[in-house]
Amino acid sequence: MATSSSAIDSILVENRVFPPSEEMVKNANISGMDAYKAMCAEADKDFEGFWGNLARKHVVWTKPFTRVLDGSNAPFYKWFDDGELNVSANCLDKHMGTPVENKTAIIFEADDGAVTKVTYKELLARVGQFANALKSRGIQKGDRVILYMPMTIEGVVAMQACARLGVIHSVVFGGFSAKALQDRIVDVGAVAVITANYQMRGGKEMPLKAIVDDAIALGGCESVKNVFVYERTKTACAMTAGRDHTFSEVLEGQSTECAPVPVNAEHPLYILYTSGSTGKPKGVQHSSGGYLLQAKLTMDWTFDLKPEDVFWCTADIGWVTGHSYVVYGPLAAGATEIVFEGIPTYPNAGRFWDMVQRHKCTVFYTAPTAIRSLIKASEADDKVHPKSYDLKSLRIIGSVGEPINPEAWVWYYNHVGGGRCPIVDTYWQTETGTHMINPLPGATPLVPGSCTLPLPGIYPAIVDETGEEMPNGKGGMLAYKKPWPSMIRTIWGDPERFKKTYFPPEMKGYYFAGDGAVRSEDRGYFRVTGRIDDVLNVSGHRLGTMEVESALVAKTDLVAEAAVVARPDDLTGEAICAFVVLKRPLPSDEEAKAIAKELRDWVAKEIGPIAKPKDIRFGENLPKTRSGKIMRRLLRSLAKGEAITQDTSTLENPQILEQLAHNN
């Protein structure tokens, strides 16, 4: 794809503008640019009034709030903080006695294609029953529970059941290793783990419970008193008597009715770990009231949700996208949604399109990395090309997780959206909780590769290192001038790190996103260019360079030193390139390949397969300045295979650049 001709294409298409159709504008929840601008003006005029009105309208409060925003202890902002609500009641109970009660809440499609549907009423009963099971084991408001679950109805039920009790969940993606899981269990002080015996992915049965056992065996997990095991498959797994219980055991005899526990608006709904630029992953803490408000609102705004929509967000519940747009947003909005267990390429790369066709999906939301891999597959095989399916049900398509390159944008627009569906390219983060900058389908003219304009009530800016705002056309760092309801509240257990990371003193109180961005000169549209800190984005998954480096140097018998950088990759957006100094002489070719494999497997064990370096290069040293600082800029050029044009005169040891150019 990265041929010179497609590079020319991308320059051409970037200038094209795609306005919404008249019909789309006419029927949209936010209809036309004037409506959008009017909402922005309302927020400009009375910021707290704007958010307060929305919170009263879209959230059911058991105790109404009287204060909208408390900034007295900024940046530890509080929203609606004398109000009380229950998030699960806002997603389920709220719909009882309305036409939504008997509507399908979830269309679940298993890896093997089996389809199960549950209505809102049935889902409420299942959540109530599971909440009672947790309660019967003494789990209560404020406790932390880890989820290590496959994409299943049970995963959604478990998260909602936690929310029902005011129990704080922390979901760990099923692809993370035992070590990563243990880190999170310890950091969060979990009293229980909810998991499954196995997960099914691409026709393969893969263990989950065994990894939980390994994690607990690594030590420090004494807080875990209960492990709940959903029997996803019939294959047995080891069970520790007294600690481990199957779902059927704990659900037996439990009533399906469980009164939702009202919590303060600021009560943590969940903690989700994400990678930062330094050290270990941080537990991003989200609130109940403000978070729920924006999860619900963005369903109406970004996805223009209508009662008859069939919504599908393909993200795993292990990521923030799965939290906001599988578990909370769609249910709070009373949508019918698809939950998919499997992978986009099984049984073939037409799976997504086949599912859209069969379930008559109307709003489809996925990641650029999936789109790019499906483009590639459909170029090789017409049968899996979207043109071989009836995708006319679609009306809006979305993108999330990384910048979408214009080539992928245009393919998605033409072949999936039939040239008819607006693409909502949503820019946001684990920390922002919900969408921040994206087009509105019935208002914003689209420009490929641009996430366009902020949602009403959101105030991004592009600033330099001193927090000074940059004019349009000049790149800089993305920041937010005002807080927003679904924002991160703190880093679990580390408020200092929260302050330092997101509100550095030179930023004048602005929230610092960690991304580079530029606004276009003509429209003031935002284009996010990628991370400017040491965070990698591989297939839309966030990883810290330091995290991968620490994993590598933890292989103490082999590795003396390691430096990790990202390089562009056609398929995964970015790929990990590791530069490694071994505790032995530079290996021969054969030997180097074997060691590289050993290191990749090691990283998979330390973090998870998503963190495996694609490139591994060995050298007798790393390029360093005389003061001993690793010259990462040089490493980035080497990783890209670029000729070194930088000044290397300050380099202590220029000859190692040649060694490090060789990939294994």
Minimum distance from residue 540 beta carbon to ligand 6R9 (Å): 6
| 402 in a labelled binding site | yes
Which residue has the CB atom at the shortest distance from ligand 6R9? 430
Minimum distance from residue 385 beta carbon to ligand 6R9 (Å): 25
320 sits near ligand 6R9 (criterion: CB under 6 A): yes
Nearest 5 degrees, angle CA 478-CA 482-CA 486?
Answer: 90
Binding test (CB under 6 A) with ligand 6R9, winner from 90, 226, 274, 287 = 274
Give the number of other CB atoms < 10 A from CB of residue 579. 29
Q: Which of 109, 116, 143, 154 is nearest to 250 (CA)?
A: 154
Q: Which stretch binds ligand 6R9 (CB under 6 A): 255-263, 425-433, 479-487, 649-657?
A: 425-433
| 351 in a labelled binding site | no
Cα–Cα distance, 505 to 88 (Å, whole number) = 38
Nearest 5 degrees, angle CA 245-CA 250-CA 251?
Answer: 145
Q: Which of residues 540-559 bind ligand 6R9 (CB under 6 A)?
A: 542
Q: What is the dihedral of CA 162, 163, 169, 173, to 10 degrees?
A: 90
Q: Which tokens belong to 526?
A: 């935002």
318 sits near ligand 6R9 (criterion: CB under 6 A): no
Q: Which tokens belong to 545?
A: 């360079």
Q: Which of 345, 324, 544 is nearest to 428 (CA)?
A: 324
The secondary structure of residue 387, as a DSSP letter, is G
Residues 6+ apart with CB under 8 A from 3: none
| 485 in a labelled binding site | no
Q: Which of 104, 96, 218, 107 is nearest to 152 (CA)?
A: 107
CB 281 within 8 A of CB 547: yes
403 sits near ligand 6R9 (criterion: CB under 6 A): yes
Minimum distance from residue 528 beta carbon to ligand 6R9 (Å): 4
CB 637 within 8 A of CB 623: no
Minimum distance from residue 280 beta carbon to ligand 6R9 (Å): 16
Minimum distance from residue 516 beta carbon to ligand 6R9 (Å): 9
* Residue with Cβ nearer ligand 6R9 (209 or 541): 541
Q: Which tokens belong to 62?
A: 């058991």
415 sits near ligand 6R9 (criterion: CB under 6 A): no
* Residue with Cβ nearer ligand 6R9 (123 or 424): 424
Cα–Cα distance, 569 to 574 (Å, whole number) = 5
Binding test (CB under 6 A) with ligand 6R9, winner from 13, 68, 168, 400 = 400
Amino acid at 532: I
Q: Which of 306, 329, 569, 556 is nearest to 428 (CA)?
A: 329
Label residue 257 exposed, middle or buried (CB < 10 Å: 0-12, 13-18, 19+). exposed
Minimum distance from residue 324 beta carbon to ligand 6R9 (Å): 8
Minimum distance from residue 183 beta carbon to ligand 6R9 (Å): 18
Q: Which of residues 505-544 bind ligand 6R9 (CB under 6 A)?
A: 513-515, 528, 530-531, 537, 542
Minimum distance from residue 134 beta carbon to ligand 6R9 (Å): 28
Minimum distance from residue 368 beta carbon to ligand 6R9 (Å): 8
Q: Which tokens belong to 70?
A: 């408390």
* Residue with Cβ nearer ligand 6R9 (287 or 664): 287
Residue 159: its H or E element:
helix 153-165
- Pattern 434-453, binding to ligand 6R9, x per CB under 6 A? -----------------x--
Binding test (CB under 6 A) with ligand 6R9, winner from 88, 129, 321, 336 = 321
Cα–Cα distance, 124 to 101 (Å, whole number) = 9
426 sits near ligand 6R9 (criterion: CB under 6 A): yes
# residues near ligand 6R9 by CB under 6 A: 23
* Residue with Cβ nearer ligand 6R9 (315 or 394): 315
- Pattern 226-265, binding to ligand 6R9, x per CB under 6 A? ----------------------------------------
Residues 6+ apart with CB under 8 A from 452: 425, 437, 438, 439, 444, 446, 523, 525, 526
395 sits near ligand 6R9 (criterion: CB under 6 A): no
Minimum distance from residue 627 beta carbon to ligand 6R9 (Å): 30
* Residue with Cβ nearer ligand 6R9 (537 or 664): 537
Q: Which of 363, 318, 370 is nearest to 344 (CA)?
A: 370
| 515 in a labelled binding site | yes
Q: Which of 316, 303, 266 is nearest to 287 (CA)?
A: 266
Scored b (16 or more CB within 10 A) or e, 302-322 reads bbbbbeebbbbbbbbbbbbbb
CB 304 within 8 A of CB 314: no
Q: Which stretch binds ligand 6R9 (CB under 6 A): 47-55, 105-113, 399-407, 613-621?
A: 399-407
429 sits near ligand 6R9 (criterion: CB under 6 A): yes
401 sits near ligand 6R9 (criterion: CB under 6 A): yes
Q: Which stretch binds ligand 6R9 (CB under 6 A): 25-33, 354-362, 422-430, 462-470?
A: 422-430
Residue ranges of the binding site: 201-204, 321, 401-403, 515, 531, 539, 542, 553, 559
Binding residues for ligand 6R9, per CB under 6 A?
Answer: 274, 319-321, 400-403, 425-430, 451, 513-515, 528, 530-531, 537, 542
Residue ranges of the binding site for Mg(2+): 553, 559
Residue ranges of the binding site for CoA: 201-204, 321, 539
Residue ranges of the binding site for ATP: 401-403, 515, 531, 542
